[in-house]
Amino acid sequence: MKKSTIPVFIIPIISFIILIPIASILAISLFTPENNKITASMTKKINSNDMQFFEDKIIIIKNNIHWGILPDTGSMLPTLPSNSTIIWLTDFDKVEIGDIVMAKSSDGRCNVTHRILQIKNNDYILKGDNNLIQDPCIYKRENIYALIIGVIY
């Protein structure tokens, strides 16, 4: 019996044909004009009028302000380094594209501190700055429970 063989040059061509569309889709999803609007938004949430400056301390004057250590996931690098101290509000009116929030999906599968990538009706799509793809969960506004306003590096 004669074995049929695939010429060696066919495998790279087939790989090329399969991988280029996948790479194009990923590139388009990461570099759309909408994503260009995403900026570090923490500076918009607190300003010098919300603070009192002293020689040995700074006091932030905001209601329902909290602080804690960001878990060591690396998903928000370099904006929020793992194990850094973050400051957040639990009393806020609105959030917008680019804001970093803490959210829990309605079904409880996802609990993240990520950036708002898109808002469609009442659906919020989040993504970690260091993640290649958006979160698999869709979040509702009522499930966004904290707005990140600062990080202590």
Three-state secondary structure call for residue 58: strand
CA separation for the pair 113, 127 (Å, rounded) = 9
Three-state secondary structure call for residue 35: helix
pTM equals 0.71
Question: pLDDT tens for residues 15-29?
Answer: 444 444 444 444 434
**pLDDT over threshold 80, residue 2:** no
CA distances from 31 to 16, 26, 123, 132, 148 (A): 22, 9, 21, 11, 24
Per-residue pLDDT band at 9 (split at 50, 70, 90): low
CA separation for the pair 147, 92 (Å, rounded) = 7
Spatial contact of 117 and 125, defined as CB atoms under 8 Å apart: yes
**Which candidate, 93, 134, 137, 140, places its Cα nearest to that of 119?**
140
CA separation for the pair 71, 83 (Å, rounded) = 6
Spatial contact of 73 and 82, defined as CB atoms under 8 Å apart: yes
Look over the chain and give the mean of its residue pLDDT values, rounded to a whole number.
80
Q: Which domains does the chain have, with CATH numbers?
A: 39-152 (2.10.109.10)
Spatial contact of 115 and 125, defined as CB atoms under 8 Å apart: no
Residue with tokens 């905001």: 62
Question: pLDDT tens for residues 80-105?
Answer: 998 899 999 999 988 999 999 999 99
